[in-house]
Each structure stands twice: as structure tokens, then as C-alpha cells.
Structure 1
Amino acid sequence: MLFPTRCPACGHENRAEFADSSIHDLTCASCGARYCLFIRKQRFEVLFDLGTRALMDGYAREAVASFAAALERFFEFYVRAFALERAANTEGDFTAASAELDATWKHVASQSERQLGMFALAYLLREGCAPDFLSPQALGADFRNRVIHRGSLPRREEVEAYAARVFALIDRLLTELGSGAAHAELAQEQAFAAHLDALPDGVTAVFEEHPGMFRAQRFGSERPGKTHPARSVGAGPLSAPLNDAQAFARALAERGSLLTLLKKS
């Protein structure tokens, strides 16, 4: 999906396509200036936002695929956050730990079941209890498989229920991760830094933080001196605990309009 970005040289609005790396090497269609756009956003966030946009635009089946992919990529994010957090707590070398993690992940990169197993073990080691939320029923696996693998055409209310389930699970796990999520974010910052160092002269670096469905405090915004204005848009203190559907509906009401503006602006 395309999103708008403004040229830092002339202000012309260009359209870019989300990249896996969150790094976008662009050339302005108006003045020809070259610039590199770094988006501080994890892949699971982008996928969930794409699912939300698809749902808002009436593409229910396509939304299911994005929500399912968002959950899988969040499990990867959790594993990375846990492994890097553990390396930091044992005073290990962060860069070396990140490289070893990448090498290890290659063994399961194309196998969802093994990735789920890695997540289950990471959760057990970090939280000290079994991940009782990983049953097929709790994850909505049957619905997901019917839509993605058997070509079922879901009703909007079914997709909203599935999205609410995925949203609630990710939101809960981000809360439990707390500041631990910052370790996975640091890995992204290191990748940004490596690309930034390799940019040729004359290329301007631009960093952006796009609004999304998940709240800023889930990513360690309580760290001293760290603020993320773009992520905090629409975020506020929760009153009472909400069930899955209520939480997703509230987030959609608060931040869904921001996603639409981001797409169309």
C-alpha cells in the first residue's frame, strides 16, 4: 500500500510503498532530489494498520490476511525483544547477540509452527508461566484458516471479532513486555544507523513516526527523556479494563481516522 511523504527539498508530496526494512530510498518526482525515509514502526504495526484500513474500506477478506500476518510478526518481535533483553541483562554484546539471533531465526523463517514454538518458549522463560492463550480456539485459528486457506468469504462482524482478538493479545503482550520492547526497537535503530552511514553525499535522511493502532506507552515512552509525539496521538489513559471487542472498537474510534488521513493526505 502506498503512503504519502513530502520531499525535504521542495515539499512535493510523493507516494512511497511500505518496505519490510522500514527504509525507503526515494527520488522526488518533482525536483529530483534524493532522500532516504526511515519509518520508526515495527512490521507487525504496519501489517495491523493495513488490516484496519482494509476493514474500514470494506475489504474484509484482505483484512484477515493482514491481521493474521501481524500476529505472526508480533510473535517474532516478542522473541527478538526477549533475546536482546536477556543479552543486555547479562552484559552481553548487543550487536553480536542481534547477529546470532538473525542467524538462528533463519532456521524457522519459513515455518510458522516453529516460530510459534520459539515464542511459546520465550514467553515461558520471561514470564515463568505457560502461554495459555495459544490454543487454536483462543487464536481464532479455524476462522483464519477458513478464510486464508479455504477461500471462505467472511462477514464484516466476523472479521471485527477476529481483529479484536488479535488486537487484545498484542496489546496485552506489549504491556507485559514493557520496556523490554525497547530492545527490539534498538535493533531497528542499528539497522537504520548502518544504512544511514552508507548513504552517498547529497541524500537527505528523513525520520518519521506514523500514527498507528497501538499506544505509545507500549513501546517504552516512559523512559526518561524519550518522547514519541507521532505515536502518542490519540493515546490517553485507559479507565477500566475492556474486553477484546471494546478495546479494539475504542482504538479504532480513536486512531482509525488517523490511518485514513495518513493514507489520503
Structure 2
Amino acid sequence: MDFPTACPACHREVRVEFTDSAVHDLSCSQCGSRFCVFVRKHKFEVLFDLGTRALMDGYAREAVASFAASLERFFEFYVRAYALERQAGTEGGFGAALKAWEGTWRHVSSQSERQMGMMALAYLLREGREPDFLTPKALGVDFRNRVIHRGYLPRREEVDAYAARVFALIDRLLVELGEGAVHAELAQEQAFAAHLAALPEGVTAVFEEHPGMFRARRFGGTLGGKRALPGKTAPPLNDAQAFARALTERGPLLATFRKSGER
């Protein structure tokens, strides 16, 4: 998946492929300027948006793979945020906590079952209750495995239901995480700062925030800027309604963002 950006020197539009680190070292083919684009977006967000784009374009099976990967990477995001939140005030500060986290995650980075165990324990310790969402039924494990591992070709309505399940779970956990997410944000900013400090002289740094299915929820509080009136509670949405509303309000932004650089 790529995204459009602009050369800071000549303003020519450049298409850039997302990297795993969210750091993109570039040079303009027109004027030769060198610049580095830092995208303030986490991997689970990029993957969910990739799934949304695939769904909108009619690639149902590819969408399932991206949604499933998004959920796994969100669990990593949650555990990181909790670990840093818990340790940031200890001796050595945030830097020591981040180093300890990175060393610990290395032990489970290629083992999804152990990562799930870390998620279960992190949720129990932080929220004080059982992670009821980690059952195979709640996660849609059978559907995911049929599509990814057994080559099942899903119908659009099945993918919509799976996407709604994943969206609702991530959204719920982001709400519960609350300000704790700031610690994971800070970890990304520190990685950016280290890369920025190592940039050669003459390279321009560009920081960007992109539209996405979760960005409005995290930074604006609600979708579409709509808030309940004082003393009134908005009617609850089920998984399908919540995803459909997000797709209606955020989907066009993703489509516009994608098409802006198409030739």
C-alpha cells in the first residue's frame, strides 16, 4: 500500500510505499531533493485501513488477511502501552522502560500464541477482569483460519461481519486504554527522534498524520465530531452498526487519499 506526499522543495507529488517503521527516506526524481517522511500511524492502523481499502475495492479474501493482522498488531500495541505505562515512573524513566519492553517482546515476537498470553495477562492486570474477548468465537478464529489457511473464498457479508467484529474490539480496547495509549505514541516518537538525529545535513524532515478508520476515534473522541448532549446518552451501536458508520464517515477519506495520486 502506498500514499501520496509532496516534495518539500518543488512540491511535486510523490507516491510512497508504507514501510514497517513508518519512516520513509526519499529523494525527489524531479529536483533531486532529499527528504524523510515520518508517518504518525501505528501498524495496526495501517493494516486495518489496508483491509478497508481491499473491502471497498471488492477484494474480500485479502481484506480478511489484513483485518486479522491488524488485530494481532493491536494486541502488541496494547501490551506495549500497558508495559510502558506501568514502568515509566520507575527508576531509569521511560527510556529504561522502553529498552526493557523491547528486550522482553523479542522473546515472543515470532510466537503468536505467547503474544496472546501476554495480552491476556496485561488486560487482567490493567482492568482487573477476565479478557472475555479472547475466546475463539469472539475473535472469529474459525472464519479467519478457513480464509487464510484453507483457501475459503468468503462472501462480502461474511467479511463485513468479521471486519465489524475486529473494528468493535479494537475500538473498545482503545477506549478502555484511554490515556495509556500515549505511552505507545511516545515510543514511536522516540524512534522518530533517533532517526531524525541521524539524518545527514540537507535532508528535510516531514511529519504527517493520515486519515484512517481509528484516527478520528483516538484524536477527536467520536466519529464525525458528534458528541452526546449533556445529560443524554447516545444509543449503543452493535458491531455491524459501528463499523458501517465508521466506513460511511471515514471510508470516503481513505478513497480520496488513495486516488489523489493516481495517474
Q: How many residues align?
A: 255
How much has 1:88 moved relative to structure 2?
Answer: 2.3
In 2 relative to 1, CA 209–215 (structure 1 residues): closer, same or farther, beyond 3 Å?
A: closer
CA distance in 2 between partners of 1:145 and 1:22 (Å): 29
> 2:240 maps to which residue?
245
In 2 relative to 1, CA 92–242 (structure 1 residues): closer, same or farther, beyond 3 Å?
A: farther
> 1:229 maps to which residue?
none
The reply on whether 1:255 has 2:245 as its aligned counterpart is no
How much has 1:153 moved relative to structure 2?
Answer: 0.4
CA distance in 1 between partners of 2:223 and 2:140 (Å): 30
> 1:147 maps to which residue?
147
Is residue 211–residue 233 contact of structure 1 (8 Å, CA) maintained in 2? no
The reply on whether 1:119 has 2:109 as its aligned counterpart is no
What secondary structure sits across from 2:24 in the alignment?
A: strand
> 2:52 maps to which residue?
52
> 2:16 maps to which residue?
16
**TM-score, normalised on structure 1?**
0.93
Q: How does 1:161-200 map to 2 (within 5 A)?
A: 161-200=161-200
CA distance in 2 between partners of 1:183 and 1:261 (Å): 31
What secondary structure sits across from 2:26 in the alignment?
A: strand
Supply the AA of the counterpart residue of 2:78: Y
Structure 2, unmatched stretches of 5+, are 229-233
> 1:103 maps to which residue?
103
Q: CA RMSD for the aligned pairs?
A: 1.5
- The Cα offsets for residues 63-117 of structure 1, whole Å up to 9 and x where unpaired, read as 0000000000000000000000001244651111111111111111111111000
CA distance in 1 between partners of 2:104 and 2:63 (Å): 30
The reply on whether 1:34 has 2:34 as its aligned counterpart is yes
Is residue 223–residue 246 contact of structure 2 (8 Å, CA) maintained in 1? no
What is the identity percentage for the equivalent residue pairs of Structure 1 and Structure 2? 75
> 1:225 maps to which residue?
none
CA distance in 1 between partners of 2:258 and 2:224 (Å): 17
CA distance in 1 between partners of 2:173 and 2:128 (Å): 14
How much has 1:234 moved relative to structure 2?
Answer: 3.8
How much has 1:264 moved relative to structure 2?
Answer: 1.2
> 1:156 maps to which residue?
156
Supply the AA of the counterpart residue of 2:249: E
Is residue 215–residue 235 contact of structure 1 (8 Å, CA) maintained in 2? no
The reply on whether 1:236 has 2:243 as its aligned counterpart is no
How much has 1:218 moved relative to structure 2?
Answer: 2.6
What secondary structure sits across from 1:133 in the alignment?
A: helix
Supply the AA of the counterpart residue of 2:126: R
In 2 relative to 1, CA 233–211 (structure 1 residues): closer, same or farther, beyond 3 Å?
A: farther
How much has 1:236 moved relative to structure 2?
Answer: 3.1
> 2:231 maps to which residue?
none
> 1:94 maps to which residue?
94
Supply the AA of the counterpart residue of 1:53: R
How much has 1:29 moved relative to structure 2?
Answer: 1.9
Supply the AA of the counterpart residue of 1:263: R
Is residue 35–residue 204 contact of structure 1 (8 Å, CA) maintained in 2? yes
CA distance in 2 between partners of 1:234 and 1:6 (Å): 27
In 2 relative to 1, CA 215–34 (structure 1 residues): closer, same or farther, beyond 3 Å?
A: closer
What secondary structure sits across from 1:207 in the alignment?
A: strand
What secondary structure sits across from 1:205 in the alignment?
A: strand
